[in-house]
Every structure is written in structure tokens, then in C-alpha cells.
């Protein structure tokens, strides 16, 4: 499968601040996905990011809160803005691999704690 890395692996942030999470893939992929996994919960899709177009957000998630960039076919960022303790979660990026297949593979995740 593709090698996916995320930075940072974890962070502790103060409420009201913002954090940008990076996702890097070692191969070009068409779509990248951002998920959230709240403590003890399953994964929820935040948005789908295609290179060269605006991200598509799922119900309950908005661009002002979770702006996403997709500058090229191997990289994406997710920003968690104006954070509150309810944003404490694991944030994961994923990609289809090989590109065009239905199988999704996940990065190692970013564990975010908001105080």
C-alpha cells in the first residue's frame, strides 16, 4: 500500500487556537479523505479533498472550522480552527490505493487534545 505520514503525531493545544495537520503520501493519489475519531467512537468522514478543487464537506462539518488545502497530488492539510475541548479527537487522513481502487488506507493519525 501507499506510505502515508501525518504531522504532528500528537499535540496538546489551548482552546481558541488553531492547529494544522499535514498528510503526505509517497505516491500521487486523486482523492484524500479526512476523518475524525472521537474518544471511544468510530470514524466519521469530515471531508474529501481533490487536487485543484474545493474540498467537499460532510454534513455537520464546515470549511470555516475545518479548512483543507490540497496543493498537489501527494499532500493535504486539515486545519482545526478556534478549537474547543470537543475537538479533542484523533484526526486521520486516508487515500485510495492503488489510485482509483475502492480500498482506503489510513495514515497513522494525529491525536489532538484541547485544554
Partner 1 sequence: QKEVEQNSGPLSVPEGAIASLNCTYSDRGSQSFFWYRQYSGKSPELIMSIYSNGDKEDGRFTAQLNKASQYVSLLIRDSQPSDSATYLCAVTSNTGFQKLVFGTGTRLLVSP
User: Who's near 65: CB < 8 A, 6+ residues apart?
Assistant: 80, 81, 82
Sequence-ordered alpha helix ranges (H) in the chain:
none
Which parts of 67-96 interact with partner 1 (CB under 8 A)? Answer: 90, 92, 96
Q: Is 112 in the site for partner 1 (CB under 8 A)?
A: no
Stretch that binds partner 1, among 18-26, 35-43, 60-68, 75-83 (CB under 8 A): 35-43
CA distance 91 to 4: 13
List residues near partner 1 by CB under 8 A.
1, 31, 33, 41-45, 48, 56, 58, 90, 92, 96, 102-109
Amino acid at each position: 500500500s501507499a506510505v502515508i505520514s501525518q504531522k504532528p503525531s500528537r499535540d496538546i493545544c489551548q482552546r481558541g487556537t488553531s492547529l494544522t495537520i499535514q498528510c503526505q503520501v509517497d505516491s500521487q493519489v486523486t482523492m484524500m479523505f479526512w476523518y475524525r475519531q472521537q474518544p471511544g467512537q468510530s470514524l466519521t468522514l469530515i471531508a474529501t479533498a481533490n487536487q485543484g478543487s474545493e474540498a467537499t464537506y460532510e454534513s455537520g462539518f464546515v470549511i470555516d472550522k475545518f479548512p483543507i488545502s490540497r496543493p498537489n497530488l501527494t499532500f493535504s492539510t486539515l486545519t482545526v480552527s478556534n478549537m474547543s475541548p470537543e475537538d479533542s479527537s484523533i484526526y486521520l487522513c486516508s487515500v485510495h490505493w492503488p489510485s482509483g481502487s475502492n480500498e482506503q488506507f489510513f495514515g497513522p493519525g494525529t491525536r489532538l487534545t484541547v485544554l
